[in-house]
A and B are shown apart, each in its own frame.
Chain A
Amino acid sequence: MIAELGQFILVLALLVALVQCVLPMVGSLTQQHAWQFLARPTAWLQFVLVAGAYGCLLTGFLKDDFSIAYVAEHSNQLLPTAYKFAAVWGGHEGSLMLWVLMLSVWTSLVAYFSKSMPISVISRVLSVLGFISVGFILFILFTSNPFLRELPAPLEGRDLNPLLQDPGLVIHPPMLYMGYVGMSVAFSFAIAALITGRLDSAWSRWSRPWTVIAWAFLTLGIGLGSWWAYYELGWGGWWFWDPVENASLMPWLVCTALIHSLMVTEKRGGFKAWTVLLAIAAFSLSLLGTFLVRSGVLTSVHAFASDPTRGIFVLCFLAIVVGSSLTLFAWRAPKVTLGGTMGLLSRETFLLLNSVLLSVATAAVLLGTLYPLVIDALNLGKLSVGPPYFNVVFAPLMVPILFLLIPGTVAKWRSANLAEMFMHLKWTALISVMLGALLPFFVGEWSFGVFLGWTLGLWVGLGTLQHMLERVFKPGRIGGSFWGMHFAHLGLAIVVLGITGVKSFEVERDVKMAIGDEVTIKPYVFKLNSIDEVKGKNYTASQAQFEVFNSGQSVEILKPEKRHYLSSAMPMTEAAISSNLWRDLYVSMGDPLPGDAHQLSMRIYYKPFVPWLWVGVLIMVLGGVLAAFDRRYRRVSPNTALQTAGQALSGSELEGSDAVGGLMNQSALGEHSPQEQSDHAHGDPNSGAHVPS
């Protein structure tokens, strides 16, 4: 009953999504207010229905209803309850349900926190979101229905893939999906703006917090995925340049570019066409990622079971959504006015360079990801593109990005003074280079790579700290976006320092060991004490016990496991890791060596600075959250809009040291007029880019 109910509710949700997609859009184009006002209630109703359908599927899992084929394939009576929640999105069908649920959450949030926006704008935005929802619900109903029954029901389910039975994986997909799906909000704002042709500061101000919060989720999702791979896969690697990882990295890179470009659009009215293109690209790449993962066109460790019908459906949807957006873009963008003048050396220039470099990096990743597919499609053979390509292409692109980051935050809008900037940053630069050159000697071997990586990491970190300190000692309220930006940059610096450290100084040993054997890495001695059999709830495992000594002192006991889940043929490696701020000690069990029962292959790794990656990512996420919740983005009623404009003025003054002049030019008040009709009547060409339609 529960499955049929779920499916019925999902069909209702589809109908509501159709209404949400069609009527508000038609209403906004034909000035029918009543139809526009349908946008919000339908968004909320859709959320309730999708959540209901999702709840039905979840109930199927919690009740071990194995007559539902999807439950039987991804759960098991022995599965711990917490993992039954995670099992809902453990397979293709359920993960799509999660996708749609996330989309409806974002949609209702947009509907709720948009009271200050004119109804014609919000009705278009919600309509575009409704369209995306229609596409995905159709996808579920026609190709990937999780509510299908299989009768007679099997007595026991097949169990969740043991790889997914890990706390990291319980939160990784929801975070990643929040990020992916969040891109649809920035996309919808961009499309709504393109339809009206009003690509103005108000549009970028509305998009910014949504984009930033989606970015924070995506960052967290990618970080968790990397963390999971490192702890669970047992290879000691945290990034594999796997197509699915790339599929999440590409929207992240574009979204990062988008955040920076939106800033120029908001503050200076510049880069409008470019910003819109980035917003379209970020969501397109999220959709492309969905396509790549689910169609089976690429091989990947993450890929869901491939099914050509699903691939065709996603491809058609991708073609419709992205194709029509880019057509709209090609048609509308030529009429968009250019922003205010900008000097050759100005903050705008740095932000433009940032955007371009990030886009080039995305293109490089896209090329590497799709190259095997293109070669195969041209009948030139089968090949795969591995980490060497990505490392060679990606790292050099990051060097200028990191170098330009600090001058970019210091430079003034419109026109900056090179000599002034040099004087301002010379000590930071000098200290970074000196520390970058000296520190490697204290940690291990000196190499150019570690010198460059650490110098750039220190440069970004120290430059950011310098800026933060200077600001703290100046009077005036400091806005959330100031802290947000600097925390995000600080997090990035820590990640860069960490990646450089682990890449340069890690030691990996794959050794044969018998009980009583010792292995020495750096100051640590690893001694294999014993191997025991242990039992978990739904697995048995052989567990090795290592004692780690540092200069004769026992410092750590590590217990890696090789697990055999009762319902799966594949043994799972559970690495044992001891972390402190400076290093990880990582031990994972390999397979027993054939012909010798007493010896086991063991992977013993010394991984310095790995914790810095996770700390850095968390600080970046914190930055995103702080920026998104900046007071000036808070929801306001129309009669306080004027006041907000004032706040915005002071907020931006704090962000760019001398931005006031620029803002004065822009007639900030005009952008904030509550009535839509007068919105673009005010001000100079910088503020409202009104396109006569």
Chain B
Amino acid sequence: MKKFLILPLAFFVVLVVFLAVGLKRDPHEIPSPLINRAAPEFSLPTLSGTTPFSPSDYKGRVWMLNVWATWCVSCREEHPVLVAFAKQIGVPIVGLSYKEIQPQDDPEKKLSPESKLNLARSRGSVWLDRHGNPYTLSVMDLDGRVGIDYGVYGVPETYIIDKEGVIRYKQIGPVTPQILSDTLLPIIRGLENS
């Protein structure tokens, strides 16, 4: 009889449908402008080795760049996944130790760049010894400049770089077993076979 009184219900049903679809999306999934661009070049000291590492060293191979830090809490969630699946991933995983030394570690700003690097290396090694080391090698981005070049929003983040040195995928936030098997591994396999 008064049919318009059903309108609020109809409006609400439409709203719920949109909210339900919205739930499946991730608003943080920002399309990165770096996708399908060449991975920015850098040369950084590694955690344990003596020679610095550059992305061009891995030309001709598919590899992963994983941003981590000992102070990063989500990394603790992600790390066991990387450790457990490192073999299955089957491509080199390069760790990018991001801004390991935080301002409050050095409030007086007295540490020299060398001692900062040493401190970061020892902290990183202890952490990897305890939690397992999935990385082929880890590079030390102390001042975060490389992070800026790669558009790092937060730690952890994971990049997949193809044989030509082009960034093909960027994962913001922790890698879960599901993301790994549904998204990352198919991309890696595809790039390896191309």
Chain A interfacial positions (CB closer than 8 Å to B): 158, 273, 277, 280-281, 284, 291, 295-299, 306, 308, 311-312, 315, 318-319, 322-323, 326-327, 329-330, 333-334, 370, 372-374, 376-377, 382, 533, 540, 564-566, 569, 571
Beyond A315-B16, A377-B18, A564-B104: 17 further Cβ-contacts under 8 Å? A273-B5, A291-B19, A295-B19, A297-B27, A306-B26, A312-B23, A315-B20, A323-B13, A326-B8, A334-B5, A370-B18, A374-B18, A374-B22, A376-B22, A377-B22, A565-B104, A569-B71
Chain B interfacial positions (CB closer than 8 Å to A): 1-2, 5-6, 8-9, 12-13, 15-16, 18-31, 71, 73, 99, 102-104, 107-108
Per the bound structure, the CA–CA distance linking A284 and B11 in Å amounts to 13
- SS class, residues of chain A in contact with chain B: helix
Tell whether A318 pairs with B16 under 8 Å between CB atoms, given A326-B9, A382-B30, A564-B104.
yes
Central interface residue in A273, A334, A377, by most chain B CB within 10 Å: A377
Per the bound structure, the CA–CA distance linking A291 and B15 in Å amounts to 12
A297 adjacent to B5 (CB under 8 Å):
no
Per the bound structure, the CA–CA distance linking A566 and B105 in Å amounts to 8
Per the bound structure, the CA–CA distance linking A311 and B15 in Å amounts to 14
Minimum C-beta distance from B17 to chain A (A): 8
Minimum C-beta distance from A659 to chain B (A): 29
Q: Inside 8 A of A565's CB, which chain B residues have their CB?
A: 104
A373 adjacent to B104 (CB under 8 Å):
no
A323 adjacent to B104 (CB under 8 Å):
no
Minimum C-beta distance from B120 to chain A (A): 14
Q: Inside 8 A of A273's CB, which chain B residues have their CB?
A: 5
CB-based nearest A residue for B24:
A308
CB-based nearest A residue for B28:
A299
Q: Which 7 A-B pairs have the closest CB atoms?
A: A377-B21, A326-B9, A564-B104, A297-B22, A373-B22, A334-B2, A330-B6
CB-based nearest A residue for B30:
A382
B12 adjacent to A326 (CB under 8 Å):
yes
A-B contact pairs, 5 of them (CB 8 A): A295-B23, A326-B9, A374-B22, A382-B29, A569-B104
B8 adjacent to A297 (CB under 8 Å):
no
Per the bound structure, the CA–CA distance linking A327 and B103 in Å amounts to 57
Choice from A298, A308, A323, A571 contacting B103 with Cβ under 8 Å:
A571
Choice from B5, B16, B104 contacting A540 with Cβ under 8 Å:
B104
B1 adjacent to A334 (CB under 8 Å):
yes
Minimum C-beta distance from A641 to chain B (A): 33
Tell whether A564 pairs with B107 under 8 Å between CB atoms, given A296-B27, A330-B5.
yes
Per the bound structure, the CA–CA distance linking A297 and B26 in Å amounts to 7
Q: Inside 8 A of A370's CB, which chain B residues have their CB?
A: 15, 18
Q: Inside 8 A of B16's CB, which chain A residues have their CB?
A: 315, 318-319, 323
A569 adjacent to B25 (CB under 8 Å):
no
Q: Inside 8 A of A306's CB, which chain B residues have their CB?
A: 26
A333 adjacent to B2 (CB under 8 Å):
yes
Central interface residue in B19, B26, B73, B103, by most chain A CB within 10 Å: B19
Q: Inside 8 A of A318's CB, which chain B residues have their CB?
A: 16, 19
Q: Inside 8 A of A291's CB, which chain B residues have their CB?
A: 19
Q: Inside 8 A of B108's CB, which chain A residues have their CB?
A: 533
